[in-house]
Structure 1
Amino acid sequence: MTELAKTFEPGPIEAKWYDHWEGEGLFRPERPDAVPYTIVMPPPNVTGSLHIGHALDNTLQDILIRRARMEGKDSLWVVGTDHAGIATQMVVERQLNERQQQRTDFSRDDFVAKVWEWKEESGGQITRQLRRLGASCDWSNERFTMDEGFSKAVLKVFVELHKRGLLYRDKRLVNWDPKFQTAISDLEVETKDTAGKFWTLRYPFADGSGFIEVATTRPETMLADMAVAVHPEDERYKAKIGQMLKQPITGRLIPIIADEHADPELGSGAVKITPGHDFNDFEVGKRAGFKAAEMLNMLSADARVCQTADGLIPSDLLGMDRFDARKEVVARLEAEGALVKVEDRTIATPYGDRSGVVIEPWLTDQWYVDAKTLAEKPLEAVRSGDIAVVPETWKKTWYNWLENIQPWCVSRQLWWGHRIPAWAGPIIEHVDGSGQVLTPLNEFQWFVGETEQEVAEKALEFYKAKLPATAIRFVEFEKGAIGVDPDGAVRLARDPSVLDTWFSSALWPFGTLGWPEQTHDLERHYPNDVLISGFDILFFWDARMAMQGFEFMGEKPWKTLYLHGLVRDDKGAKMSKSKGNVVDPLGLIDKYGADALRFTLAAMESQGRDIKLDEKRVEGYRNFATKLWNAARFLQGNGVGASTSIAAPEAKLPVNRWIIGEVVETLAKLNKAFDELRFDGMADAIYHFTWGTFCDWYVELVKGAWDEETKQVAAWAFDQILVMLHPFMPFVTEELWHAMGERPYDLIVAKWPAPEASVDAMAKAEIGGLVEVIEAVRAVRSELNIPWTATLIPYVLGDAALADRLSANQATLARMAKVGAPQLVDSAPPSSAQILAGGSAVAFPLEGAIDLDAERSRLAKAVEAAVKERDSLAARLGNPNFTARAKPEAVEKARADHDARSAEAERLSAALARLS
C-alpha cells in the first residue's frame, strides 16, 4: 500500500500513467484468440489541434475501447491522421510566403517534399494532444492517409471503380475557390448572410414586340445567360414560350423556355438561366437540352471575365475581376435602359472556409464517382438493420440524402494529395498525309492505371490500332505537351489534380487494416464494431465509408453507427472564434485534469441532443475525482487495501451484504447502458454509486466497525468502483489501483467486474430502510430548521418489525441523524413531524425543539412565494409571443426555472403538511 498525498493533483499522475501504458504496449495487448473488437478513429487533419469536438468524439471511443479491453477482447482502436489536402498545402504555402517565396517558385516534386518535411516536424501536434486526453489507441500501428500502404489502397480503388464504370470524367458545376483555384467540397463552403442587392433587368423580345423582366443577385453573370425560364402553367407567358430575347450588352439571342423551377409567385415569374454559373440553372439547362460542353463559361479559374464560346462579351470587359465586372455591367445596363430597379437584400453568400473568398459555381472537367449506384447497398443495410444507427432519428436523414445523392466530385486542383492515376493522350480525329495529328483543344483520351507501365501498355495497344504508334512517352501536363512525336511516339501526361481527401478517408475502415493485402488484422477486424462520429460528417465520411466498404469488402464497414451532437457553450450557442465562446479542451485539462473533462463529456452526452458545456460541470467532476481520492485515503487509514478477489467476498453483516448487492445492481445498469450506447446513463450509474451509495452511505454506515469481513468487502467494493470507473476516468483510477496495494497487473488490463453474487433482498430491505429513515430525518431537520443539538425520538406507528430494525441500528441512527431509541405507538403524538419509511409512518415530536407557530408561518410564506413565481413563469411560457420570439436559451431557462420553482413549492408544501 502506498500512502496517498493529501491533495489530489491530476497533472503529474496523467503524464506518468500515459507514458507507462504506451511504453508497455498495454493499449493493444496480444490476444490472438480473443473475440475481436474494433473502432477506427475519424482521422483528424494533420494540421489540426485538439478542439472540443475532438475531445468528445475521442472520449466516447476511448470509453468503449477501454471497457472492451477489460472484457478480455482483442481490442483494436485504429489511429491515424488525414493529409488534409487544402489545409496542409495552405499551411506550407503560408510559411513560404513568410520567406517571400511562393509554391510556384518550386517544382511540384520539390514543393511536395517540403510538405513532407513540415509533416515530420510539425504534423504531430494533435496526436500529442490526444495522448493528453487519455486516448488509448494502437499508436504502434499509427496510419497516415498518404503513407505507402494506404496510398496503394487509394490508387487501387480509383482504378477499380474506373474499370467497373463507377468513376468517370465529366463536365459539371463545382464549388470553385478562386483563391486556391480548386474545386472544394460542400463541407468547405461556409454560407454567410451578407448585405447585397437585387437587380431587376429588362430583356427585349428579338422581334421588338416588348420585353420581359428578370431579377438577379449577380448581374455580371448575365454575360453568359443562355435562356429565360417561365413556369409552363403561367398564363402570362404560355404564348411566349419558344420566342427569342435579345440580351442587353452582348446582343445574344436566347430562348424563353418552360421549367417548373420558375416560381410564378416570385417577382415577374421569369428567371434568367446561366447554366455555367448556377447549380439550379445547370439542372434547368440540362432539362432544356443544353449539353454541358455547350454551356457558356464567362469566368477564368481566378474569377476574371473571359470570353464565352460565342465570342459576344465586349473585349474591354475581358480580364476584369468578377466584382469590378459587376459594377461595369450594371452601369452598361443602366445606360441601355435595361436596368429597371435595384433593391437592398440580405444574400446567403458562399465563402471558402479557409480562403475567405466568395465561392463560384464553375463549369469544369472533373472526375466523378457514381454515388447513386454505390449508395444502394448502404441504403438497404440501414433499412434492414444490418447497420444499426444510434440514435435512430438519423435514419431518416440517411435515407433522404442517399436517395437523392448526386455524382461525387473527387478531384482537386492541388499539389498535395494522392495524384490521380489517369494519363491524358491525344484524341485521333484525323491524321493528314504528313502524319500530323489534329487534336481538339482540351479534349483527351484518358488512360487509368496503378502504374506508368500499366498505362503505357494500354495506351500503346490503343494507339497502334489508329496510327503507327512506336512508343509511349510521359510528359508534364502543359499546353501543347500532349500529342505525337515525328518518330511515332505518343506523348501522355498525368492529370495534375489530386483526389479529394474524403475519397481516401472513405477507405479508412479497411485501408488501415492492410487492404488490398489480405492481412490477419483485416480478416479479424473488418467489419469494425462501432463508428463514433459527429452528425455533421454523416454524408462526407460516414456514408462514403459505407459505399466503399460494400463495394470493395462486400459488407458493411461497421455494425453500429453512433452519431453524437455538437458541443455548444453554456448558453447553448454554437461555438465560434468570432463570438469568442470557443472552449479549449487543453485549457480545461490544465485546470481540472483530463479525467474531469472526460467524465463531463460522457455525462452530458445524451442521444440526440447537443451538449451545453458549462465549466462548472467540469469543476464538479474534478470534485468527484477528489472525493474518490479522499475515499481511498480514508480506507487506507482504516487498514483497507487492495482486494485479492474478483468475486464478491463472503459476508454475514447486513451492511456488507447490502453493498455487494448495490455493486451487482450498478454493474447491471452500467452494462445495460453500454449495450444501448447511453453514455449519460453509464456516467450516471457509476457516479451515483460511487459518490452516494459507497462514499456517503457505506463508508459512513461502517465507520468505527472495521472488522475483517468489512475490510475485505470494502476493499472489494472499492476495487469494483475503480474498474467500472476506469473507462471514464482512467488516470486517477489507475493511480489509486496501485496505491491500494500490490497488483499483479495494471488496471487498464484488469478484468471487467464479475461479482458472482446476487442482491440480498433482506439486506437491501434492512439497510435500504435505514438509509431511507436517515435521509428523511435529515430532510426534516433541514426543512424545519431543527438544530442538531436536539435529539429526535422516533415514534413508529404500528409497525413492530420497523421498530425492531430501528432498534437494531439505533447506534447508527444516533450517529448519523441524532435519533434516539424508537417507540412503538398506535398514534402520533401532538405537534410532531411525520415521515414514511418502508410504507409505515414514523412521527417525531417537535415540542421544545423548534417554535412550531413561527416555523408554520415561515413555511407558509415560502410556499406562497414559490407558487407565485411558478405561476408567473407558467404564464410567460403559455404566451405564444414569448416562446416564438424569445431566444431559445431564454425560453429554455424559463422552463428550467419553472420546473425548479414547482419542485420547491411541492417540497415546502410537504414540509408544511408535516406540521399540520
Structure 2
Amino acid sequence: MTELPKTFDPAEIESRWYAHWEATDKFRPDRPGAEPWTIVNPPPNVTGNLHIGHALDNTLQDILARHARLQGKDALWVVGTDHAGIATQMVVERQMQLSQDKRTNYTREQFVEKVWAWKEESGGTITQQLRRLGCSMDWKNERFTMDEGFSKAVLKVFVDLHKQGLLYRDKRLVNWDPGLGTAISDLEVETREIKGQFWHLRYPLEDGSGFIEVATTRPETMLADMAVAVNEKDDRYTALVGRKVRLPITGRLIPIVTDDHADPELGSGAVKITPGHDFNDFEVGKRAGMKAGEMLNMLDAKAQIVQVSDGLIPADFIGMTTAEARQAVVVRLKAEGFLVPHIDKDGEEHESEPRTIQTPYGDRSGVVIEPWLTDQWYVDAATLAQPAIEAVKSGAIRIVPKTWEKTFFNWMEGIQPWCVSRQLWWGHRIPAWFGDDGEVYVELTEAEAQAKAGPGVTLAQDPDVLDTWFSSALWPFATMGWPDSSPSPRSRGEGRGERQSQAPASDTAPLPASGERETLGGRYPNDVLISGFDILFFWDARMMMQGIHFMKDVPFKTLYLHGLVRAADGSKMSKSKGNTVDPLGLIDQYGADALRFFMAAMESQGRDIKMDEKRVEGYRNFATKLWNAARFCQSNGIVASKHLEAPKAELAVNRWIIAETIQAVQAVDLALADYRFDGAANAIYQFGWSRFCDWYIELIKPVLGQMDAPATGLEADETRAVAGWVLDQLLVLLHPFMPFITEELWSKMGPRDYDLIVAKWPMADARAIDPEAAKEVDWLIRLVTEVRAARNELGVSPGVRMPVHVRDAGADTKGRLARQSAAIARLARVDLAGGDGPAGGAVQIVVDEATFVLPLAGVVDLDAEKARLTKGIAAAEKERDALAGRLGNASFVERAKPEAVEKARADHADKAAEAERLSAALARLG
C-alpha cells in the first residue's frame, strides 16, 4: 500500500493515468469470447476544439463505455474526426491569406495537398483534448472521413444509390452561401432577427383596368416574379384568377393563380411568386405547372444581378448586389407610382413599414443566404426514410427520451430531397463524369466511366464534392471496414487467466444467441448512439437511412438524445454573447473528474443543462472528500479487499453499510439501464458522501481505535474487511463517472493484479441485506441528525454536552439505545439521563414512537431565543408572501424573462422552507 499525499492534485493524476491506460492498450477490445459492445462517437470536425457540448456528449459516451468494460463486455468505442469540407477549406484559405496567397493560385490537386499537409500538422487538436476529458476511445483504430478505406465506402454508396435510382441530379432551390460560393445545409444557416422593411407594391392588370396589391420584404426579387397567388376561397379575387398582370420595371406578363400558400387573413391576401428565389414560391410554382428549368434565376454565385432567360431586366440593374438592387427597385417603383405608402398610427406617410425580419446568414461566412436555383445532386430521402420510420415504430430503434419520437416522425414523414453536392475543392469528389455527348456517367472510377461512355466520348469529372453529412452517415459501418472486410469483434489478446475478488470480468462471458449480431464481426448494429438533439435529422436520421439500406439492419439499437449546455441564466451560449464556457479551463481549475460528474449529474434525459461552476466546484469537493476518506482508511489499516462478495459481518453498523452498498449498486444499475445518468450519478454521490464518507467512517472510529493505538480483535478485523470491501465497491461504481481519482485510489489501497478500468462491476446480491441492522443504523442517523439540527438552530455550542431524557420509548428503541449509547453520546454530544425530563424549557424531538427531551436551562436564554426565532419567522414569511404575490401576478409570469421567473420561484421555495424550519424550532421550545 502506497500512502496517499495529503493534497489531492487532479492534474498530476490525470496526465499520468491517461498515459498509462493508452500505453497499455486498456481502451482496445481484448476479451475473446465476451459479448461485443460498440459505440461510435459523433466525429468532431478536424478543425474543432473541445467545447462544452463536446464535453457533455463524450462524457456520457465514456460512462457507457467504461461501464460496459466493467460488465465484462468487449467494449469498442470508435473514435475519429470529420473532414469538415467547408470549415477545413476556410481554415486553410485563411492561413494562406496571411502570406498573401490564395487558393486560385494553385490547381485543385495542389490545394488539396496543402489541406492534407495542414491536417497532418495542425488538424485533430480536439483528439488531444478528448484525452484530457478522460475519453477511453480506441485510438489505435482512429478513423477519418477522408481515409482511403472510408472514401471507398463513400463512393460505393453514391454509385449504388445512383444505379438504384435513389440518387439523381436535379435543378432545385438550395441554401446558397455567396461568400463561400457553395450550397449549404440547413444546419449551417443561422437565423438572425434583423430590423427591416415591408414594402407594399401595386401590380397593374394587363388590360389596365386596375391593380392587385402584394407585399414583400425583398422587393428586388420582383425582377424575377413569375406569378401572383391568391387563395381560391378569397372572394375578392375570384374574378381575377386566370388573368395576368404586367410587372413594373420589367413589363413581364405573369398570371394570377390560386394556391393555399396565399392566406386571405394576411396583408392583401395576394402573394408575389418568385419560384427561383424563395422556397415556398418554388413549391407554388411547381404546383402551378412551372418546370424548374423554366424558372427565372436573377442572381449569380456571388448574389449579383444577372439577366434572366426572357431578357426583361433593364441593363442598368445588371451587376448590382441585392442590396443595391433593392434600393434601385424601390426608387423606380416609387417614381412610377407602383409603391403603396404605409400610413403609421399617427397618420404619417412612409414608403415602407418597419418589420423585424428572420434573416438567414451563413454561420461561417456571415453573409446573407440566398435561395438559389441550381443543378445539384439529390438523394431520394423520402424513400430511404420509410424503413427508418418503421424501425422506430417497431422498437428496433429505441429513442430516449421517447418524447423525441413525435418530432422525428413529423420531420421524416415530410422529408424533402437531400442535396448532397457542395461547390468545394476539399472533400469526396463526386464520382460522376459529364460526357461531350450530353450524358452523365456515374461510376467508381474514371476508367469505368470511360468504358461505359465509349472511346469516342470526352469526359470531364464533376468538380463538386459531397456534403460532409453524406459521408458521416456511413460512420457506424464504414468505420468497421465495410465494404471490403469485417473486423474481428475482438483483437487477438490472450486471456488473463483465473480471476478472484474484484477482478476483471470473465473472458468466458456467453456469446450472443446464434444468428444475432454477426454483421461486421458483431460490431453492427452498434449498441447505442449518444447525440445532441440538434443533429437528429442531419446525422442520426441519415445514419438510420443509409445503415438500414446498405446493411439491412438498424445502425444502433438505442438513440439517446441529450440537451444543450446553456449559460447559467438559461440563455444559449454563443461567442457573440460572450457567455461560452471553456471546458479545458474548468478541467484546469477543478479537474476532469469534477466536470464529468457535473455533466452526468445534470443530464436529465434530454433537458438542457444550465452551466453552474459552483456545482463543478462542489463535485471537486466530493472528490477531495473521497480522497480524505481513503487516507483515513489507509491510516487505520483498511486495505484493498480480497473478495468480490460482501464479507461476513456481525456488527450492526457493518451489516448496515453492506446493505447500503448493495442498494446503491441496485440504484445505479437501474438508472444506467434506463439511461438516467443523473439518477446514477446522484445515487453514487449520496452513497459516497453521506453514507460512506460521513456516517460509516464516523460510526466505525471507536471500533478502529486511535490512529496511534489501533484496535485489535474480531470486531476491528471485521470492520476493516467491510470498509475495504465497501470502498472497493464505491470506486468501481464511481469509475465510469470519475475515472482518474478512482483509478488512483484503487492503485494505492494495496497490491492489485489489474487496473480498475478492467475490474468487475459489483453484483447487487440482495441476500446480503440485513433489514434489522439497516433499520437500527437508520434510526441512529435520524436521531443524531435531529439532535444536531436542534442544537444548531438554537445556537448551542458544539462543545457543550447536554443531557437527553427519553419518553414513551418502546422495546426496540430501548434496545437500540442500549447498543448505540456510545455512538449517540459521541456524535450528538448528549448523555442519556433517567426520567422524563422537564415539562417546559426544553427541546422535544420525536423519532418514531419516542420523544427525546433536551433541557435548555443554563444552556440557552429561552426568552431571547424565542424572540430571535419569532423575528426570523416574520421576516421569512414576509419575503415568502411578497414572492408569492409576484408569482401570482400573471403579467409578471408572462412578460418577465424566464430566468427571472425561475429565480423568483426558487427564492419563494427557500423562504417558505426557512419559515417552516424556524417555526418548528420555536415549537420545540414549548
Interval containing the TM-score (normalised by the shorter chain): over 0.9
Shift, 1:132, TM fit: 0.3
What amino acid is aligned across from residue 810 of structure 2 in structure 1?
D
Kindly indicate whether residue 749 of structure 2 is the aligned counterpart of residue 749 of structure 1.
no
What amino acid is aligned across from residue 44 of structure 2 in structure 1?
P
SS of the counterpart of 1:591?
helix
Partner of 1:806: 817
SS of the counterpart of 2:762?
coil
Partner of 1:458: 452
What amino acid is aligned across from residue 531 of structure 2 in structure 1?
S
Contact 2:600 2:737 in 1 (8 A): yes
Partner of 2:51: 51
Q: 2:368 aligns with which of 330, 346, 358?
A: 358
Contact 1:654 1:767 in 2 (8 A): yes
Pairs within 5 Å for 1:240-251: 240-251=240-251
User: How far apart, in 2, do the equivalents of 1:823 and 1:409 lie?
Assistant: 86
What per-residue deviation string (whole Å, max 9, x for no partner) do you get for residues 172-199 of structure 1?
0000001111000000000111121112
Partner of 1:541: 539
Contact 1:647 1:755 in 2 (8 A): no
What amino acid is aligned across from residue 800 of structure 1 in structure 2?
A
SS of the counterpart of 2:701?
coil
What amino acid is aligned across from residue 622 of structure 1 in structure 2?
R
Partner of 2:730: 721
Kindly indicate whether residue 407 of structure 2 is the aligned counterpart of residue 413 of structure 1.
no
Q: What is the TM-score when the length of structure 2 is the normalising length?
A: 0.93
What amino acid is aligned across from residue 620 of structure 1 in structure 2?
G
Kindly indicate whether residue 500 of structure 2 is the aligned counterpart of residue 506 of structure 1.
no
Partner of 1:88: 88
Shift, 1:798, TM fit: 3.5
Contact 2:230 2:259 in 1 (8 A): yes
Kindly indicate whether residue 177 of structure 2 is the aligned counterpart of residue 210 of structure 1.
no
Partner of 1:584: 582
Kindly indicate whether residue 463 of structure 2 is the aligned counterpart of residue 496 of structure 1.
yes
Contact 1:796 1:802 in 2 (8 A): no
What per-residue deviation string (whole Å, max 9, x for no partner) do you get for residues 477-533 of structure 1?
xxxxxxxxxxxx211111110000001001111111111134134231111111110
User: How far apart, in 2, do the equivalents of 1:197 and 1:828 lie?
Assistant: 81
Partner of 2:857: 847
What amino acid is aligned across from residue 826 of structure 2 in structure 1?
R
Kindly indicate whether residue 820 of structure 2 is the aligned counterpart of residue 794 of structure 1.
no
User: How far apart, in 1, do the equivalents of 2:635 and 2:91 lie?
Assistant: 56
Kindly indicate whether residue 157 of structure 2 is the aligned counterpart of residue 148 of structure 1.
no
What amino acid is aligned across from residue 248 of structure 1 in structure 2?
P
Partner of 1:709: 718
Shift, 1:332, TM fit: 1.7
User: How far apart, in 2, do the equivalents of 1:209 and 1:623 lie?
Assistant: 81
User: How far apart, in 1, do the equivalents of 2:428 and 2:923 lie?
Assistant: 75
Kindly indicate whether residue 43 of structure 2 is the aligned counterpart of residue 62 of structure 1.
no
Kindly indicate whether residue 442 of structure 2 is the aligned counterpart of residue 448 of structure 1.
yes
User: How far apart, in 2, do the equivalents of 1:531 and 1:544 lie?
Assistant: 13
Partner of 1:401: 411
Shift, 1:787, TM fit: 2.9
SS of the counterpart of 1:722?
helix
Partner of 2:509: none
SS of the counterpart of 2:5?
coil
User: How far apart, in 1, do the equivalents of 2:481 and 2:751 lie?
Assistant: 40
Shift, 1:755, TM fit: 6.0
CA root-mean-square deviation: 1.3
Pairs within 5 Å for 1:256-295: 256-295=256-295
Contact 2:893 2:901 in 1 (8 A): yes
What amino acid is aligned across from residue 567 of structure 2 in structure 1?
D
User: How far apart, in 2, do the equivalents of 1:880 and 1:253 lie?
Assistant: 54
Shift, 1:21, TM fit: 0.1
User: How far apart, in 2, do the equivalents of 1:853 and 1:308 lie?
Assistant: 93
SS of the counterpart of 2:359?
strand
Contact 1:648 1:755 in 2 (8 A): no
User: How far apart, in 1, do the equivalents of 2:544 and 2:764 lie?
Assistant: 40
Gaps of 5+ in 1: 428-443, 461-470, 472-488
What amino acid is aligned across from residue 495 of structure 1 in structure 2?
D
Partner of 1:732: 741
What amino acid is aligned across from residue 692 of structure 2 in structure 1?
F
Kindly indicate whether residue 779 of structure 2 is the aligned counterpart of residue 781 of structure 1.
no
Contact 1:797 1:824 in 2 (8 A): no
Partner of 1:98: 98
What amino acid is aligned across from residue 205 of structure 2 in structure 1?
F
Kindly indicate whether residue 557 of structure 2 is the aligned counterpart of residue 559 of structure 1.
yes
Q: What is the TM-score when the length of structure 1 is the normalising length?
A: 0.94
Pairs within 5 Å for 1:108-257: 108-257=108-257
SS of the counterpart of 1:702?
helix
SS of the counterpart of 2:622?
helix
Contact 2:646 2:768 in 1 (8 A): no
User: How far apart, in 2, do the equivalents of 1:798 and 1:260 lie?
Assistant: 79
Change over 3 Å in CA distance of 1:286–1:861 after alignment to 2: same
What per-residue deviation string (whole Å, max 9, x for no partner) do you get for residues 799-841 of structure 1?
133122112211111111112125475x974333222323433
Partner of 1:646: 644
User: How far apart, in 2, do the equivalents of 1:790 and 1:850 lie?
Assistant: 13
Contact 1:803 1:822 in 2 (8 A): no
Of stretches 199-208 and 353-362 in structure 1, the one that deviates more from structure 2 is 199-208
User: How far apart, in 2, do the equivalents of 1:336 and 1:68 lie?
Assistant: 74
Contact 1:149 1:514 in 2 (8 A): yes
User: How far apart, in 2, do the equivalents of 1:822 and 1:588 lie?
Assistant: 52
SS of the counterpart of 1:50?
coil
Q: 1:528 aligns with which of 518, 526, 529?
A: 526
Contact 1:796 1:822 in 2 (8 A): no
User: How far apart, in 2, do the equivalents of 1:145 and 1:573 lie?
Assistant: 33
Partner of 2:516: none
Partner of 1:483: none
Shift, 1:400, TM fit: 0.6
Number of residue pairs matched? Answer: 872
Shift, 1:848, TM fit: 2.8
User: How far apart, in 2, do the equivalents of 1:128 and 1:749 lie?
Assistant: 23
What per-residue deviation string (whole Å, max 9, x for no partner) do you get for residues 293-343 of structure 1?
000001111111111111111122212222212222222222222222322
Contact 2:666 2:764 in 1 (8 A): no
What per-residue deviation string (whole Å, max 9, x for no partner) do you get for residues 365-387 of structure 1?
10111111111111111112221
What amino acid is aligned across from residue 577 of structure 2 in structure 1?
K
User: How far apart, in 2, do the equivalents of 1:742 and 1:651 lie?
Assistant: 24
Contact 2:806 2:850 in 1 (8 A): no
User: How far apart, in 1, do the equivalents of 2:390 and 2:570 lie?
Assistant: 36
Shift, 1:797, TM fit: 1.6
User: How far apart, in 2, do the equivalents of 1:856 and 1:525 lie?
Assistant: 69
Pairs within 5 Å for 1:35-50: 35-50=35-50
What per-residue deviation string (whole Å, max 9, x for no partner) do you get for residues 349-402 of structure 1?
100000000000000010111111111111111112221111111111001100
Shift, 1:864, TM fit: 2.1
The structure with higher relative contact order (CA 8 Å, sep 6+) is 2
User: How far apart, in 2, do the equivalents of 1:292 and 1:309 lie?
Assistant: 13
- Of all paired residues, the percent bearing the same amino acid is 66
Pairs within 5 Å for 1:426-445: 426-427=436-437, 444-445=438-439
Shift, 1:168, TM fit: 0.7
Partner of 2:915: 905
Of stretches 709-718 and 446-455 in structure 1, the one that deviates more from structure 2 is 446-455
Gaps of 5+ in 2: 342-351, 490-519, 705-715
